[in-house]
Amino acid sequence: MRALPHRLGAPRPGWTRDADVVVIGSGIAGLTAVLRIRAASPWRRVLLVTKALLDAGSTRWAQGGIAAALGAEDSPAEHLRDTLVAGVGLCDPAAVEILVTEGPPRVRELAALGARFDRDPDGAFSLTREGGHLRDRVAHAGGDATGLEVERALIAAVRADPSIEVLEHALVLDLLTDQSGRAVGATLHVLGEGSQDGVGAVTARAVVLATGGMGQIFASTTNPAVSTGDGVALALRAGAVVTDLEFVQFHPTALWLPEAGPGQQPLVSEAMRGEGALLVDAAGRRVMAGVHPLADLAPRDVVAKQMSRVMAEQGVDHLYLDARHLGVETLLRRFPTITARCRDAGVDPVTSPIPVAPAAHYASGGVRTDMWGRTSVPGLYACGEVACTGVHGANRLASNSLLEGLVFAARIAGHIAGTGDAGDAGEPGAPEAPLPAGVAVGARGSGLTDPAERADLTRAMTDGAGVLRSAQSLRATAKMLAGLGDLRVSGATVKAGPQAWEMTNLRTVAAALVAAAALRTETRGCHWREDFADRDDGNWNGHVLTRLDPEGELIVTYEAQPAAQVGPA
């Protein structure tokens, strides 16, 4: 394979800024991190960097809600059990325990901040159920607009603090490290005016990655256009370890639109099935009956696989979600956004089944972190979808994603403030002067990939490394990625800029995912190998670790997890 770059080819930084902490990303994880850092350390200078506008990330598209044990009949222990079951043996129980015990107070704090959750007549959180949950524990807002409301409240709080500086339209390029290998900032490209236009450098005493997912490596995804895997690619180039990239969750019910091209597809929330909607084929036959004890509310990997099987058997590219029996009142009250979007596409859920198909949705793997969000690179933290904290295992339990962002962003803030691990006060060493000689800003391997080949990459990933995988399909995909952007073959000239940087990140992350998927020769969670159809605890009850070696080659290894960490079947 053509070597992957250790730095993105870019002009030398033309401007510099300094902060105590730079947070990259403005979804629930990044916004929470900024607010919690300010609350814990009000004297620290915090810079929030976001790729587009503050509200352009994945959080706003989270329809279902936030899972937490908020009901009187629920408990963190039951939430932990359901999470471990969904994770198919690969969750870290200690991380999950943190998630489910610290989650409820974080949700209540979010409500106190101003997030308007739907409430029952007695004022309690209105809770619903989604796939894999044995209790009603998903808090929601605006029926099916939870992410939008959460983001609104967090952004309002950020804007209300004049000490938080926000830099929009800023694409992160690479990590800055000092001579010891510690993170001391990042290079950015800003589409702005004046002194902050173009490539610049922000130096900081700690860097928090909250860049979201990588769904744009596939032709069909629920992720927004900004989700190009920038954080994972940056971390790999910086020498960080990433974990379990093969576990990409495909949401079973993206709205299928025959005229839609590649890219983001509208999501039809799992909460609709939680209210009783049913998956059926064109003849009205139920798709999930008899397949799993929870039927239509089975974990997402089970539903996506069964849908893919039925679609392949019938030679069709979509199935249907039938919600007609819920009635117009329920549909408009609980799912106003989905109903409106379907009607805009010419489908009325009140009178017609909704055409749906699986689409890439959520990356359970990512940059490896500990319980305080620390990565293997000193001074670099990660939270949200870009991180692999251990809470999702081989398959994320529905609506645990927003909760993870809340909980682990708060823990990062606590650690930076010195209230976390007693063995490390969490105070990164101050960097040298802006762009010191010891900071790596160029170095080897800065090749870029031609953005004209992006459609080829996403189609190859969908066909060979999507819901259905095999040794043959993964080899074909790896071969395609190996030759992608070989300028000796194409004769193209690639100009440094946002499109080329994003494309290079996409290729880096896609190559890492394919390598991890090829190594894991079993079917587990949302990783489905047609040639290895069974779960193999004897050989694969552990994690796939990926890093980039000094020559730009991916090193993929297997790490068995301790016996005490093995979750239930």
Catalytic residues: 300
Rounded-to-integer distance, Cα 127 and Cα 232, Å: 34
Rounded-to-integer distance, Cα 425 and Cα 440, Å: 26
From residue 237, how far is each of 85, 173, 200, 372, 499 by CA, in Å? Answer: 34, 10, 18, 22, 18
H, E, C per residue of 427-484: CCCCCCCCCCCCCCCCCCCCCCCCHHHHHHHHHHHHHHHCCCECHHHHHHHHHHHHHC
Residues in Cβ contact with 330 at an 8 Å cutoff, skipping those fewer than 6 apart: 275
Q: Which two tokens stand for residue 127?
A: 């809770």
Residues in Cβ contact with 516 at an 8 Å cutoff, skipping those fewer than 6 apart: 244, 245, 246, 365, 544, 546, 556
What does DSSP assign to residue 121? T
For tokens 């050989």, what's the residue?
Answer: 539
Q: Which two tokens stand for residue 239?
A: 């020498």
Entry field: residues in the chain: 569
CA 297 to chain centre: 22
Provide φ and ψ at 191, rounded to 5°.
-90, 75
Rounded-to-integer distance, Cα 182 and Cα 176, Å: 8
Residues in Cβ contact with 260 at an 8 Å cutoff, skipping those fewer than 6 apart: none
CA 469 to chain centre: 21
Give the β-pairing of 21-24 and 248-255: unpaired
List the alpha helices (DSSP H) in 121-248: 146-159, 230-237
Residues in Cβ contact with 500 at an 8 Å cutoff, skipping those fewer than 6 apart: 9, 448, 449, 450, 451, 494
Rounded-to-integer distance, Cα 166 and Cα 514, Å: 35
Q: Are 202 and 19 in contact (CB under 8 A)?
A: yes
